[in-house]
Structure 1
């Protein structure tokens, strides 16, 4: 497996900007589709019109539900306002299933919820598979995904699987001409990733002019997410679309020596060393493998690599390379997503808080409980 190297050629200053710009005209990743959830808050029709006219967005995918208990409170307004802006509208369900029975139950819940919030028949209702399925064999994940999608079809929706590039054909089978795959290169312009799949989500930190916060954007490789509905979507400002697209493709490029707070989950797609500091010159203290994930709380951007800092079990910080600065990513970052932990014998809120670099009071707030509440083995907690 490829490891971070100590020496590599770095383009800096004007040379880097020129190299990035020259690569954008032909191979720039497009902002064809944006996905939204309750994390984005209320989104107005005007915001979706701006995305369409100035950024070239043509499709919208709305979070509908999660598990069998959570309904996204903004789904109905996102669907209605996205349609008013002329966008193709789809939905997704965040999956927690680990058995076929659970998959069918979650599909029934998602389908009923989608109907209730107005997701149009013929739209895509995808399953977002990136959580508890990490420790299951590929064959079981495949069977569970099939069960979910077969059940969803009964509601009149088309189906697809959303997952990370490191999980595709490793944790589950994603055939060509199917799948919505997430992989975030630090310079999106260049090789067009996952071009044989329905969609490639290439950024989780895109900013739109009149909307606040970070958004996930995807490039569509066919008409799967724009079929089954009528739409008059068309950007009316091609010049603005070209300019914003160039900016978005540059946004994740080289920014030397920057440190910022970011809470997220990193899933490596290769074997990586953990070091005592953000640099290859620091001692190696552990190893992470593709089957694992790490909850981090800080990102350090250097001239050669981008690093994540996380709190280790011994209370000391470890540092792992997220990818090359201006080059290859070593996995997928899930930012501002819920991370869950299943309680084991001997755990306490204090030990769990320490493991995830947070506080007991914060854990209690996340889980709507008191700091003195009893916790039991097998119980699942939201930890970030």
Structure 2
């Protein structure tokens, strides 16, 4: 989520640590980002995040590339505002040229307006795709600058989201800008990226009445809470302190035990990708898979700063990176192709599963839910 940094700083407030730590040695749960992957999120869920976990801001996925509009953007924006929290948005970037960056900014800005994202909110560009990985640092900087300059025409403030391994290697992230994702083995004891607006330190945070894992970030400035009215007042400070420490402990366990997990998925490559003999950028290149290639994988892992998937081959396995390690094992943001079903009135988990030849539990699980989760008309579910 990001743009050219001189433009990015336009109207930005000075860096200030507005949020006093509940535990000086623990990362805070100041901000959560949500998308269609999380399904429908109610106002009650956001109130619980606010009151019991100390969440102050929510950043909602708005769009991706030049055609995809997140179906839950409008309801998420509405419900976050009803919960009295700060609201922002992000666009998952697919651009590889300046012209594409401008076109995606126009698409994202228009989509955000239609979904109700208020003027003055941040609309960040999420730069972690294979398209960006294939570009030089100079090209990414130029493209990000073009996106950010264009997005400001809609009245939104701009920022860049990327992984720590890409910051200042794949693109420039100056001080007092940027939202950086990095999941350390030990969260406590260090405020990573304290000179940036925000540090996303976990992708597996759990909330009491919400299903699945969530991305959580610590805010190191007021950039994501500026220019908006909020009634954020956590009502259970004891619970906030306890849950904050618990989240830090969970993040440590999750990061320290990175391992291969079963994950059968099909990818259609939008750009050429190197297929390697091992899950490492130093492994030998077996071949270069051209754009348009369909790849079926069976396992996934996060290691070495990247998210890797394994492709069974006639004489063993091939490995390819789907993006930086900020792509969680629970949800592939880049490269995945799915078939969706739109829930209709009267539908149930059982009926949808039967209609698509799936086990009901499998259907719920691949959508990050359980068979006891309520589904709503208009909701999109992954069925393939």
Common fold by TM > 0.5: yes
Q: Is the 8 A contact 1:296 1:308 kept in 2?
A: no
CA apart distance, 1:264: 10
1:288 equivalent in structure 2: 281
1:339 aligns with 2:334: yes
Structure 2 Cα separation of the partners of residues 110 and 257 of structure 1: 37
Structure 1 Cα separation of the partners of residues 314 and 235 of structure 2: 56
CA apart distance, 1:338: 3.3
- Deviates further, 208-217 or 256-265: 256-265
Q: Is the 8 A contact 1:257 1:300 kept in 2?
A: no
The count of corresponding residues between Structure 1 and Structure 2 is 290
1:297 aligns with 2:335: no
Q: Is the 8 A contact 2:261 2:301 kept in 1?
A: yes
**Which of these two proteins has the greater Rg computed from alpha carbons?**
1
Matches within 5 A, 1:203-352: 203-254=202-253, 261=261, 263=263, 287-289=280-282, 297-298=299-300, 310-311=310-311, 316=316, 332-335=326-329, 336-340=331-335
CA apart distance, 1:209: 0.4
Deviation readout 1:201-255 (Å, 9 max, x if unpaired): 0111111000001110000000000001111111111100010011110013347
Structure 1 Cα separation of the partners of residues 258 and 150 of structure 2: 47
CA apart distance, 1:311: 3.6
CA apart distance, 1:289: 4.5
2:112 pairs, out of 91, 111, 114, with 114
Structure 1 Cα separation of the partners of residues 141 and 258 of structure 2: 41
Unmatched runs of 5 consecutive residues or more in structure 1: 1-23, 266-273, 276-284, 302-306, 321-329, 343-360, 367-383
2:81 equivalent in structure 1: 83
**Residues 153 and 297 of structure 1, relative CA distance in 2, 3 Å threshold:** same
Q: Is the 8 A contact 2:279 2:319 kept in 1?
A: no
Q: Is the 8 A contact 1:165 1:331 kept in 2?
A: no
CA apart distance, 1:334: 3.1
CA apart distance, 1:259: 6.3
Structure 2 Cα separation of the partners of residues 30 and 197 of structure 1: 15
CA apart distance, 1:287: 4.4
Structure 2 Cα separation of the partners of residues 262 and 189 of structure 1: 30
**Residues 191 and 262 of structure 1, relative CA distance in 2, 3 Å threshold:** farther
2:288 equivalent in structure 1: none
Structure 2 Cα separation of the partners of residues 170 and 258 of structure 1: 24
**Residues 316 and 252 of structure 1, relative CA distance in 2, 3 Å threshold:** farther
1:40 equivalent in structure 2: 38
SS of the aligned residue for 2:24 comes to helix
Structure 2 Cα separation of the partners of residues 84 and 166 of structure 1: 36
Structure 2 Cα separation of the partners of residues 199 and 263 of structure 1: 30
CA apart distance, 1:188: 1.2
SS of the aligned residue for 1:120 comes to coil
SS of the aligned residue for 1:62 comes to strand
CA apart distance, 1:192: 1.2
Structure 2 Cα separation of the partners of residues 120 and 70 of structure 1: 20
**Residues 250 and 72 of structure 1, relative CA distance in 2, 3 Å threshold:** same
2:189 equivalent in structure 1: 190
CA apart distance, 1:186: 2.6
**Residues 42 and 179 of structure 1, relative CA distance in 2, 3 Å threshold:** same
1:199 aligns with 2:192: no
Unmatched runs of 5 consecutive residues or more in structure 2: 1-21, 266-275, 286-296, 338-356, 359-365, 367-383
SS of the aligned residue for 1:334 comes to coil
1:125 pairs, out of 101, 123, 126, with 123
